[in-house]
Amino acid sequence: MNKLCIFAGTTIFGTLGGMLATVFGMEVFSLGSFFLSGVGSVLGVYIGWKVAEHYK
């Protein structure tokens, strides 16, 4: 359950971070998009871990 929640959180928040970059006018394959996707992925790991702890 723990790995599944972390995987889902990383996928969802990483994608949202990349989409957020386009809102700020960055290109899809730019360094800013890569950075925001990474930040979203780290946030997704944390949130996925917390969700898995909650349902444990």
Say which residue the tokens 């790991």 belong to: 45
Q: What is the pLDDT of residue 36?
A: 95
Angle, helices 31-54 vs 2-23, to 10°: value is 150
Q: What percent of the chain has pLDDT over 70?
A: 100
Residue 17 lies in domain: 2-54
Can you tell me the distance from the alpha carbon of 25 to that of 5, in angstroms, rounded to the nearest whole number?
31
Task: Count structural domains, the chain.
Answer: 1
What is the band of 45 on the pLDDT scale with cuts at 50, 70, 90? very high
Cα–Cα nearest to 40, from 8, 4, 3? 8
